[in-house]
Structure 1
């Protein structure tokens, strides 16, 4: 199992490095970004690190072998999006979860899961993972809603909590089932209050863990 905490707190101090372009198959894109933050300065990078660590603890208690794409203090910035994909591929992970929070507009509430669309361009070929990634995403959506009580996003996905994209290098370059979980919208005051709450973050980690468990069940 690979957990990918979106962004890195150090990215803010390394704008030149993270702005370097990398190949994502369909085109070239920035190595990484700083991510978003709440109005009072709680960063997406801090949020994703916390939820990812909670998620790892839950999975390891169940006997899973878990790899994080980056550990606290391990590196100054990044890793770049292409390296994040390689880590999951090299591990031959049963599944990869990339933890994020969105930066949409006030009034845009709820969570969603981003699925890889079919890409066959350059070094990217998602043909084999589109189906299983959708299954993973559907399990995570159902479990996340149960565990957190949060609604599916009201601003995309037509109420399904699912969004298919072909512009994300972390998905395009993956050869194993992978999804992004956008746990809520940091730019909405109500969602931001949840994301900043440690008890709610534990529920978020639990929901993701339960979705993974359902996906991997024989």
Structure 2
């Protein structure tokens, strides 16, 4: 931030309605104006949150206060604003994949066509699930992805979304993987919510199995993807308080699978997160809460940041 002082001489005419004096009083005054010029990022660099708020990447805490704790003391030099090169995720590329698409249901013929995922053929995409009150999974995943993008962009990362509600359907699962591959992402994440029976609740993270079958070859990414999965799991749980899923994975909040095209076809470290069960009343209250979704985004962003900075992964069994 730079400051420039201008001295501006002007003449103001007293345009009051009388005031006990006849006519206008001309007063010459000198005004000293301090103009602050500060840079701000573009939407492409930083993204927006779910409400469309532009993120400038400023050094503000979660409560909106200056990172330094307040205004500078008179006579001191204010702390320098971090440059893009000094931000913690500068130079890192993250691909976020919001599961499904809000208008997939209008294009069932297109999303039902089969695509090759290496181990077999599966539907291009699906409509996803919804809460019993009708809140769609596709709306949840897009909202949280945008929130995560805002946080990561403020930390210096380049963030790519596979879709931003800007296409009629999809993309297909093979294209979702290809977007991450073509971006040479340092990490990729598909964000989802599950549709299990009521009473089944909690979240889990899915990592790719090491395999080589047809177009699928995850042998090089299986190990780093597992580290991403356990790191993300630890941070998501800490941020949200959501328990590990009680209906699969032995209650450890972690699965390794070979039947998901988005993982099978990835050549970069990638995982899925199922943030909760939309069909369970308790989980649904969280998933439909704006405040909880922000905590979910914070946990996801913190997990990705820890992975990209090489922090130790959480234990594979979920215990500490």
Structure 1 and Structure 2 fold alike (TM over 0.5): yes
Q: Provide, for residues 68-114 of structure 1, a one-character-per-residue CA deviation record: whole Å limited to 9, x for no partner.
A: 00112x21000000000000000010000100000001111110001
Structure 1 match to 2:232 = 140
| In 2, Cα distance between equivalents of 1:139 and 1:11 | 31
Pairs within 5 Å for 1:195-206: 195-206=287-298
- Equivalents in 2 of 1:148, 1:122: separation in Å? 39
Match of 1:57 among 145, 150, 161: 150
How far apart, in 2, do the equivalents of 1:24 and 1:31 lie? Answer: 10
Q: How does the TM-score come out when normalised to structure 1?
A: 0.98
1:69 to 138, 157, 162: 162
**Deviation of the 1:63 alpha carbon:** 0.8
- Compute the RMSD of aligned alpha carbons: 0.6
Secondary structure at the residue paired with 2:168?
coil
The corresponding residue for 1:150 is 242
Q: Which runs of 4+ in 1 moved over 3 A?
A: none
**For 1:26 and 1:152, how far apart are their aligned partners in 2?**
28
Q: CA deviation at 1:154?
A: 0.7
2:127 aligned counterpart, secondary structure: coil
Question: Aligned with 1:113: secondary structure?
Answer: strand
Instruction: Report how far residue 159 of structure 1 moved.
Output: 2.1
Q: Residues 160-202 of structure 1: CA distance to partner in whole angstroms, max 9, x if unpaired?
A: 2101110000000000000001000001010011000000000
User: CA shift at 1:217, angstroms?
Assistant: 1.1
CA distance in 2: counterparts of 1:211 and 1:156, whole angstroms: 22
Partner in structure 2 of residue 175 of structure 1: 267
Structure-2 separation of matches of 1:201 and 1:149? 12
Shift of 1:213: 1.0
Unaligned runs of 5+ in 1: none
Pick the aligned partner of 1:110 from 173, 181, 202: 202
Aligned mates of 1:120, 1:64 — CA distance in 2: 31
Structure 2 residue 301 is matched with structure 1 residue 209: yes
Unaligned runs of 5+ in 2: 1-93, 311-320
Who wins on radius of gyration, i.e. which is larger?
A: 2
Report the secondary structure of 1:66's partner residue: strand
Give 1:3's aligned residue. 96
In 1, the alpha carbon distance for the partners of 2:213 and 2:136 equals 33
**Equivalent residue for 2:178?**
86
Candidates 162, 165, 172, aligned match of 2:254: 162
- TM-score w.r.t. structure 2 length? 0.67
1:114 aligned counterpart, secondary structure: strand
SS at match of 2:243: coil
Distance 2:202 2:130 in 1: 16
Separation in 2, partners of 1:146, 1:26? 35
Please name the residue that 1:97 is paired with: 189
Query: May I ask how many residue pairs the two structures share in their alignment?
Result: 217
After superposition, the C-alpha distances for 1:30-73 in whole angstroms (9 at most, x for unaligned) are 0000000000100000000000000000000111100000112x
